[in-house]
């Protein structure tokens, strides 16, 4: 949780929930789990309980104190639509987003089917609440159908870590992020996978954001995230959807 972020496609993070459980191959080397588990058992630390799912009601009103408009990634350390988070609590998060109407909120889930099920119970979907889902390989493109059923003004895909080539139906999708995996056990991303998604986005008129190569460069050599950089064929891709308020 921070008024500021090193994540390239956002400006701040807000974590009214922390902790999660793995659901697909993209979770195997989760940065959030790795970070949280470093502090398991440290008395008084926010992650004293590691990556166990925890509601953080004391953080619900935090965005209201941030008066400067910004993009806010919701639950960078969790998944708001985890089955352990009640619909009532999710409703409180949505109420904060409605009240903090000067911000743009970016929600990202690996459980879009639950988000679609709850959507009718959450009231009118706030125009400033983007909804995204993670798609790491072709097996999980089914999440995109669930995402399309959510009445968000802006829907997006996070293809990170990208673990294989993707053929995408981008109908109703307004933004695509692609990135390779970082960390000591990271899996390399092939250039043709990223380029294939970029080409599909350009053909469909969907903004494309290339976040990073990760720990491996475009030749598959482990060089570290900083050296690998974020250029795709010598170009930086920073496409973003139209902002509703900023």
**So what's the pLDDT on residue 244?**
59
Percent of the chain whose predicted confidence (pLDDT) is above 90: 95
Residue with tokens 């307004």: 174
Work out the widest C-alpha separation in the chain, in whole angstroms.
Answer: 53
**So what's the pLDDT on residue 79?**
98
Closest to 155 (Cα-Cα) out of 101, 188, 112, 199: 112
**So what's the pLDDT on residue 242?**
83
Token pair of 9 as six digits: 């496609």
Across-strand partners of 54? 18
Q: What is the average pLDDT score of the chain?
A: 96
| Region of poorest pLDDT, from 3-7, 59-63, 114-118, 229-233 | 3-7
**So what's the pLDDT on residue 243?**
74
Strand 231-232, strand 12-14: pairing? unpaired
The mean pLDDT value for 122-140 works out to 97
**Using CA atoms, how far apart are residues 58 and 239, in angstroms rounded to an integer?**
34
* Under 8 Å between Cβ of 110 and 80: no
Token pair of 45 as six digits: 């630390």
Residues 68-82: pLDDT tens digits? 999 999 999 999 999
* Under 8 Å between Cβ of 50 and 40: yes
Token pair of 204 as six digits: 């469909």
**So what's the pLDDT on residue 54?**
98
Residues 98-126: pLDDT tens digits? 999 999 999 999 999 999 999 999 999 99
Residues 23-57: pLDDT tens digits? 999 999 999 999 999 999 999 999 999 999 999 99
Strand 17-18, strand 54-55: pairing? antiparallel
Closest to 13 (Cα-Cα) out of 46, 49, 59: 59
pLDDT over 90 (residue 234): yes
Tell whether omega for the bond before 161 is within 30 degrees of 0, i.e. cis.
Answer: yes
**Is residue 214 helix, strand or coil?**
coil
Residues 174-209: pLDDT tens digits? 999 999 999 889 999 999 999 999 999 999 999 999
Report in angstroms the alpha-carbon separations of 15 from 28, 57, 186.
21, 10, 25
pLDDT over 70 (residue 1): no
How long a stretch of residues is the chain? 246
**Using CA atoms, how far apart are residues 86 and 35, in angstroms rounded to an integer?**
25
């Amino acid at each position: 949780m921070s008024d500021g972020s090193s994540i390239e496609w956002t400006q701040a993070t807000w974590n009214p929930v922390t902790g999660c459980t793995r659901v697909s191959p993209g979770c195997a080397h989760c940065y959030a789990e790795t970070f949280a588990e470093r502090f398991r058992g440290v008395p008084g630390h926010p992650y004293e309980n590691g990556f166990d799912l925890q509601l953080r009601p004391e953080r619900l009103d935090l965005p209201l104190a941030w008066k400067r408009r910004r993009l806010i990634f919701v639950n960078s350390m969790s998944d708001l639509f985890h089955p352990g988070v009640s619909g009532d609590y999710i409703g409180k998060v949505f109420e904060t987003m409605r009240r903090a109407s000067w911000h743009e909120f970016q929600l990202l889930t690996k459980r879009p089917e639950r988000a679609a099920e709850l959507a009718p119970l959450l009231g009118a979907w706030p125009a400033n609440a983007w909804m995204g889902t993670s798609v790491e390989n072709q097996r999980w493109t089914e999440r995109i159908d669930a995402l399309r059923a959510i009445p968000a003004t802006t829907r997006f895909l996070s293809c990170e870590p990208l673990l294989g080539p993707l053929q995408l139906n981008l109908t109703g999708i307004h933004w695509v992020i692609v990135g390779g995996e970082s960390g000591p056990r990271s899996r390399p991303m092939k250039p043709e996978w990223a380029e294939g998604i970029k080409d599909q986005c350009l053909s469909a008129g969907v903004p494309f954001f290339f976040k990073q190569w990760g720990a491996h460069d475009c030749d598959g050599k482990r060089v570290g995230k900083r050296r690998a950089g974020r250029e795709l064929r010598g170009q930086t891709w920073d496409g973003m959807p139209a902002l509703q308020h900023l």
